[in-house]
Copies of this chain bind each other. A is one copy, B any other.
Amino acid sequence: MKAEIITIGDEILIGQIIDTNSAWIAARLQEVGITVGRKYSIGDRAEEITEAINTSLSRAEVTIITGGLGPTKDDITKHTLAHIFNSPMVRNEETYQRVERMMAARGIAFNELNQGQALVPECCTVLPNLKGTAPGMWFEHDGHVAIALPGVPYEMEELMTLEVLPRLKEHFALHAVVHRTAITFGMAESMLAQHIESWESALPPHIHLAYLPSPSQLRLRLSIYNCDRDSAEAEIEAQFAKLLPLLGDLFVGWDGETLQSAVAKKLIARGETLAAAESCTGGALSAKFTAMSGASEYFWGGVVSYDNSVKENVLGVSRENLDTYGAVSEQVARQMAEGVRRVCGTTYGVATTGIAGPTGGTPDKPVGTVWMAVATPTATYAQVLCHGKIRSVNIERAAAAAINMLRLHIPSEY
């Protein structure tokens, strides 16, 4: 079972937006045993859309198309689909009424552009979009399926979840693909590869290993294609059981776990709380926790102490330490972690202070130098890392490394 994903929009080809939809769709298709063979992005031009859809229909059982369904003139996907499937445009009454209600609730005029959102090719099955104006559309052609979805991520996600995936499961008999991913943090790809070389070499040929690095984690994924799901899951589990002792503290969790979700689990289980004092990460560390629903249970907040006056006046960092050692120092990191723990009244305090770059480095403290500290009820720990020269990467890595310190310093016992 193969699928292809086609994302439509000039804004993708000129690089003004990043396509996050196709990764999300691919992950969901994998889960139901459909392998994405290829993804492509094309512009808002009828010939290109027609060619891409026809090619995909000839090659893959499922074609998922996103984008180009907006109300404005540059969006032509729907009319091109009507032409490909030789079907007239008709008004879908249910969509018309839903869009009318939606506009009324938002106090937006139900104008001609919005009314046009209810026009669909007659041959399609309409998939109701509860979060936006453009409905999804399901086409069948010579045993192949083509599905058009809006490009707005949360609209597309809801349509995939409520409509597309259940229909695909029903429509096709699917082969299983089993993936499992171990999340690690703390060792670079080439070192880890050498560290686990004997385990990797002993993997049977039908089990595929992939290293998936990113600034905040290194994922190790095992995959078995075209398999019996139960025995494949057992085989993969047995291989990971041999790997975990080699990973030790590097192992963060399984698929979908992050450093911050691992910390959150520990804090919730222990009934403890956290506050953050951020200088170089400037809010990014706190945002990682508050992005998770339910964060208020254990994350009480903190202080973004970007300017030294805020370190001094709000967190109680001593002027002497700032003058003697500088804002990027072990002493200041420790006082920040202890200060935010005291000011917010939490079990733990975590702190970052560093030089994110690209300017501000010195010979002693080059760009990328970050001091981190964790204050616990019994002790304060500090650590320094030197990352690279890229501001965004330094912020991301510093936040990840500080959260990892927390992960290692919060006890596992409940």
Contacts and interface: CB of A to CB of B under 8 A. Distances in A.
A400 to B, nearest CB: 14
Nearest to A344: B310
Interface string A379-414: 000000000111111010000000000000000000
A235 interface: no
Contacts of A131: 388-389
A25 B345 CA distance: 47
A393 B208 CA distance: 36
B27 A14 contact: yes
Contacts of A154: 388, 390, 393
Interface residues of A, number: 112
Nearest to A20: B18
B12 A39 contact: yes
A130 to B, nearest CB: 10
Most buried by B among A23, A188, A391: A23
The dominant DSSP class at the A interface is mixed
Given A26-B14, A39-B13, A290-B282, A302 B304 contact: yes
B14 A189 contact: no
A299 interface: yes
A113 B214 CA distance: 19
Interface in A79-98: none
14 contacts: A14-B30, A14-B36, A14-B179, A16-B27, A16-B212, A18-B18, A19-B22, A22-B41, A38-B42, A39-B40, A154-B390, A282-B295, A286-B304, A313-B345
